[in-house]
Homo-oligomer: A and B are copies of this chain.
């Protein structure tokens, strides 16, 4: 049984997962790759629970997840926490802070996570010199938006079981795309409370529904890792279709179609 590489590895080449992701769509030029690697040298290590960016906090450069797992969230007036999405290695998690005047949500990490931090100056430099990177990052904000829209569908229309199934499928596909999942296995250092706040459910109900998924031999959650026992069955159960993740290589800008 092949286990996916641990997300706790040293951040050798923090940019590699990002490059991999961008190149799924359109190949980068050699100098673009090099510039990214160069810019992502400064890494930072965050402990589980630490906040990486704060709502209405100052905006700065960019943060690239190298290993671990982060989540976007907002805290409501009454103290409830709403989780808005997850960021996996290779994701730039705070693009809004580059082009908008302020963050409109916060970001924290689920486990020990290493990130590369790019200063605003180096990012501006990068984007001015390499329009290909602008296209690539812009594309990735479009995919982020598509994921958020799918969350709207998920939370708005589906039952608890469907929601959980769908979320696990999303994370599995995204992690697999950067080589961090395979054979139905992924490390998922996520609590049932996190799941509840992500899906608009109570943690009690998440617990019961997870048991049901387990009973239907679709998915087993064991500690910090998840095993998908029947991917096709799980996708069916969550009416999951990977299209919106835009993970396959094909670039509409140059007519190439696969």
Contacts and interface: CB of A to CB of B under 8 A. Distances in A.
Interface of A: 25, 56, 59, 72, 74, 76-77, 80, 82, 84-85, 95-102, 104-105, 124, 134-135, 138-139, 141-146, 148-153, 155-157, 199-200, 239, 243-244, 246, 248, 250-253, 257
20 contacts: A76-B153, A76-B239, A77-B239, A95-B142, A96-B146, A100-B139, A100-B246, A101-B250, A101-B257, A104-B149, A104-B244, A104-B246, A105-B149, A124-B253, A134-B134, A138-B141, A141-B142, A141-B145, A148-B148, A155-B200
Nearest to A85: B149
Contacts of A243: 56, 102, 104
B152 A84 contact: yes
A246 B101 contact: yes
Contacts of A134: 134, 138
A101 B251 contact: yes
B99 A253 contact: yes
A121 to B, nearest CB: 11
A150 to B, nearest CB: 8
A96 B143 CA distance: 8
Q: Which of A97, A151, A199, A252 has the most CB of B within 10 A?
A: A252
Given A82-B157, A85-B149, A156-B199, 8 more contacts: A99-B142, A100-B142, A100-B246, A101-B246, A102-B243, A138-B138, A141-B141, A148-B151
A149 B77 contact: no
Nearest to A144: B145
A250 B101 CA distance: 6
Contacts of A145: 96, 141, 144-145, 148
A72 B149 contact: yes
Contacts of A155: 152, 155-156, 200
A95 B149 CA distance: 14
B244 A82 contact: no
A21 to B, nearest CB: 14
A134 B130 CA distance: 13
Contacts of A142: 95-96, 99-100, 141
Given A102-B243, A141-B138, A142-B100, A80 B157 contact: yes
